[in-house]
Amino acid sequence: MVETRSGKMQDTSEERIKAEESAKPQPGLPCHKKHAAGLFNQGNTCYSDAVVQCMAHTAPIINECCKEFSPDMLNTDSINGGLILKRFGMLLKAIWSEERAFCPIEFQKQIGMVEEKFGNNTQQDPMEFLQYLLQELHEDFNRTTESPEITETTNEALISWQIYLNQESSPIVDTFAGQIVSTRFCQFCQNISENYEIFKDLSLAIHLKENPSLMDCLEEHFKTEVLDDFTCSNCGTKNSIKKYGVTQWPRVLTLQLKRFSAFDLAKIKKMVIAQQLWTFHNLDRKPNTSCMHFLDTGHCTATCRHPTTNQWYYYNDDSVSKISKDVNTADAYILFYEKMP
């Protein structure tokens, strides 16, 4: 999730503020401790520690992964033979049972056996690691014989979504996958063409205004484009616009703020004001599990909401501290938003 120390929600509706404040805890989760255990840095592994803490506070992931996996539950045909999922499940279980910080050696070793750069204790980009981890966990789930129910429909968006689910099925998809539609509209002949794409995260440029909100960044990301170089297939003119929409929102929306300039790699130190996402494209989300911070030193930390008590904690590798809910900083880098119940 993202927040700002001085930021306030744009939507000040009393009912919605009250709903956010009284967010219902997730029942039935194995999170009985006051807070999750910290993770020792193994030498520049803060990026993976922060990602793991965010995942460890995401209710659907806890439900599906915080357990030991028997061989029949794993996809042994994946590149990892199901072992990353198995090690990840053991790690989550330890995070919510160990009383003190510990070192996730076996998990890191298993990751490094397939992708060396994530196993050699060098600093890596946390977003790249999150994307890699989600893909490997997805591949390791054994759902190869399962197919979602097909609904008879003429809705192109739903047909495209069902085709995707027929090919890719896992709790990772159920939690993080969404669908975007891009529509090309010719202003001369009114010809319309649509294209559907799957996404598991959105990478947002930070809006240029003085105190941008997360909503500003989303609206900029999905703004209408004028296609100067696109030729309409129907009439041959170059008079088209491109609009974006979301046909399927994921259960947990993951947002990355582009904090580094493409020209000189300088960090963009700007506060992005977070709020509950009520109105954007019918998006109904509250700040959920975490805000991952990328500090000037290259160090990564995570701020996470306890899944059953709603109390916020700050995870700086092995150090864990209780904090207030107002936890946003100009270092916020990756944010998690959960669908409202």
Report DSSP letters for 258-273, one per residue: E-B-TTT--B-----B
Confidence of residue 127 (pLDDT cuts 50, 70, 90): very high
pLDDT band for position 297 (cuts 50, 70, 90): confident
Q: Which residue has the higher pLDDT, 110 or 282?
A: 110
pLDDT recorded at residue 277: 63
pLDDT band at 15 (very low <50, low <70, confident <90, very high): very low
* 78, 140 contact by CB (below 8 A): yes
The predicted structure's pLDDT at residue 5:
27
Q: Is the pLDDT of residue 330 over 60?
A: yes
Token pair 């240029």 in the structure block, residue: 208
Question: Is the distance from CB of 328 to CB of 51 less than 8 angstroms?
Answer: no
pLDDT band for position 285 (cuts 50, 70, 90): low
- Tell me the H-state helices in 70-125: 83-95, 105-114
- Tell me the backbone φ, ψ of residue 225, rounded to 5 degrees: -110, 145
Mean pLDDT of 255-276: 82
Q: Do residues 232 and 186 make contact, with C-beta atoms less than 8 angstroms apart?
A: yes
Q: Give the range with max mean pLDDT: 107-111, 206-210, 258-262, 292-296.
A: 107-111
pLDDT of residue 119: 87
Q: Return the pLDDT at 223.
A: 94
Q: What's the average model confidence in pLDDT over 69-81?
A: 91
Mean pLDDT, residues 40-45: 93
- Which of helix, strand or coil describes residue 102? strand
Q: 221-235: per-residue pLDDT in tens?
A: 999 999 988 999 999
Give the model's confidence band at 142: pLDDT under 50 very low, under 70 low, under 90 confident, else very high.
Answer: confident
Higher model confidence: residue 298 or residue 91?
91
Q: What is the pLDDT, as a whole number, of residue 273?
A: 81
Mean pLDDT on 337-341? 76
> Distance between CA 335 and CA 123 in Å, rounded?
20
**Which of the residues are catalytic?**
46, 299
State residue 146's pLDDT score.
58
Separation of alpha carbons 139 and 83, rounded Å: 11
Better-scored residue on pLDDT, 19 or 123: 123
pLDDT for the residue 267: 86
Going by C-beta distance under 8 Å and a sequence separation of 6 or more, which residues neighbour residue 331?
Answer: 259, 269, 293, 294, 295, 296
Q: Regarding predicted confidence, which is higher, 29 or 88?
A: 88
Nearest to 73 by CA among 119, 140, 166: 140
Mean pLDDT of 36-59: 95
pLDDT higher at 306 or 287: 306
Provide the pLDDT for residue 288: 55
> What proportion of the chain, given as a percentage, has pLDDT over 70?
83
Instruction: Kindly state the average pLDDT of the residues 256-271.
Output: 83
Rounded Cα–Cα distance for residues 315 and 313 (Å)? 6
Residue type, 263: F
The pLDDT of residue 145: 57
51 touches 201 (CB < 8 A): no
